Amino acid sequence: MIPSITDIHIDELQAKTGLTFDQERRKAIKEFNDIQACPGSGKTTLIAAKLILLAKSWKQNTSGICVLSHTNVAKNEIVSRLESDEYGRKLLSYPHFIGTIQEFVNRFLALPFCRSKSIEIKRIDDEVCFNYIDSKLSWKARRYLDGKPKASISNLQIRYVNGGFKIVVPGFKKTSTSDSYKNLYSIKKAMMKDGVFFYREMFEYAKAYLDINPNVIRSIRSRFPLALVDEMQDTSFVQDEIINKIFSYEGGAFQRLGDSDQAIFSGGEEDSSNSYNDLQLQIINTSHRFNPSVANLASRLSTNKVKLISSQLVNNAQPHTIYIVDEQNRPRVLSAFAQLCGNNLPLDEKHPIKAVGGIGKTKPEGLTIKHYFSNFDKSNSSKNFKPDKMIEYFRKTQKITTCNSDGYKIVLDGIRRLFSIAGFEYIPLSQLKGMIKDSPKCNEINQKIIGIQSSDLNDSQGWGHNIKELLTVLGLLDKYALLTEFISYVAPIAIADNEFVPVNMFVERVNGRNISIVVDTIHAVKGETHSATLLLETKFHEYDVHQMLDYIIGVKSKKPTGVRKPKFMKQLYVAMTRPKHLIGIAIDKSRIPEAKRKVAIENGWNIVDLTVGN
């Protein structure tokens, strides 16, 4: 029996927490309708509130609530809210489950199937698989794939089709007797024998398990009579298929939350809408994030024509600016935006300023973030953090002011790479944490980590001494030769006044204070709140800002069609809904004629031409 939630329960929670839930949000908490929640709507707060109220009245000891999310970030946000509440903490253990869709599929479907078929799983990791294949690829196969632009070694995977498994060999539509085909096929067979698999392949084993053992669905439904899915818009076709097969049934309590206007992660081989994104959903369109002027401009990029409403009563309109650039002046836009922010943002504003673009990878004939900021390194992106040097993990922790455990996890990720480079088997982060906790040198290891975190990481000699001591307490000093490159010192990027700034950050002094702009990809900043955001035009076959310009300046509202325009709209919507105060956009002068500049000004934009006088 699922506990019911009433307005009285919500009133009690409001009195306890100081939160306020309007009628839209109350309806979402009390019922199990699918929800489209706009950026800054407080979706995580709503989910946590609902879970706490359910937990308070939950009586079943062997059946629980299943909460699924697309990413670890979203999962951790929910968990952190529940940890702070006496009832919420009950949901963090049996019989409940809170995790990513991948974790759920692995635990309850894929791994049980593999155990039943004696399929050994040693490592589930896309990067490990890619490196495994790359290291064994023959020169003939490599040359063959180079001539097939759409074929990637990442697609060398198994698929469950018509009741059986088959190996998909990239670049080949059918079985071949060629040397290249034989090489790729043999690599895949060796991977399977060694127990190395892609994340995506676990869903194939899950499909097989559901196919041959229908009772597993009844078992999971009995264990989890109630399921909530966060970030539903980003689920792939196969994830959507499995989730619906298990949880969407007559009499089941099943609720999906997300924002189909922000569906920018699903794609690739399964470039298809899921069942959630194609629906007309109950909408929460009031945002606590941005001011009314940002809401007005960003609404133009809503695929579902959601009219965003700011909860802020005062409309402190900001000089949202379109910067006109050319090839010579593109790098100037960061300085111009820094000046704009320095002159207009509140002095006490703590949220970051970011410049974002759709394409981060260097492309010879394209337009990427590096054309605006030549130092940009995608490997140091906030959600793709995998630097070349161990020291960068510690530098990253020095920037974290919110939670010590976040910094510790970053260091553990670096230590995990130390063990991997040293030749050890893959160690999950949770297992590494347990190994350190159980180690007789636990205190020494943690003290050394804390010591390095608080040390001067611009001192090469000090770093050399500290990292050797860390290797010693970890028992890795004898692997020093293998680790030399990864643990070697590298200086941070210096700016003129001898202060140091991290990679992917532009800094300029404005009105006596440093204005720092973090440069990143649009995908990396999804879910974030910025004080101001600068959108950099990039090119993926076509120029994204140019393709969306008529929507941006308010002269077009019909939903775009085709292959790329709908994707561009969602990516730009994500970018334009990050900032609280201020939006900037950079576009090439050849793609915004004089007539459209005038329309832009009439419809709420300032225009600054950085090509004039140069």
Per the annotation, binding residues for ATP are 37-44
Dihedral over alpha carbons 596, 338, 535, 609 (to 10 degrees): 20
Which two structure tokens, joined as six digits, stand for 97? 């489950």
Tell me if 40 sits within 8 A of 298, measured CB to CB: no
Q: What are the Cα distances from residue 130, in Å, to 115, 133, 359?
A: 24, 5, 22
| Residues β-bridged to residue 35 | 257, 282
Single-letter code of the amino acid located at 572 = L
State whether the Cα torsion 559-564-570-575 is positive or negative: negative
State whether the Cα torsion 350-355-360-362 is positive or negative: negative
**DSSP secondary structure string for all residues of 293-338:** HHHHHHHTT-TT----EES-SS------EEEEE-TTTTTHHHHHHH
Query: What span, in angstroms and rounded, lies between the C-alpha atoms of 527 and 151?
Result: 31
| Residues β-bridged to residue 530 | 579
Residue with tokens 């697309």: 70
Is there a cis peptide before residue 95, judged by omega within 30 degrees of 0? yes
Query: What span, in angstroms and rounded, lies between the C-alpha atoms of 224 and 253?
Result: 9
Residue 391 buriedness (CB in 10 A; 0-12 / 13-18 / 19+) = buried
Residue 485 buriedness (CB in 10 A; 0-12 / 13-18 / 19+) = exposed
Query: What span, in angstroms and rounded, lies between the C-alpha atoms of 362 and 379?
Result: 12
Binding annotation: 37-44
Query: What span, in angstroms and rounded, lies between the C-alpha atoms of 57 and 69?
Result: 23
Sequence length of the chain is 614
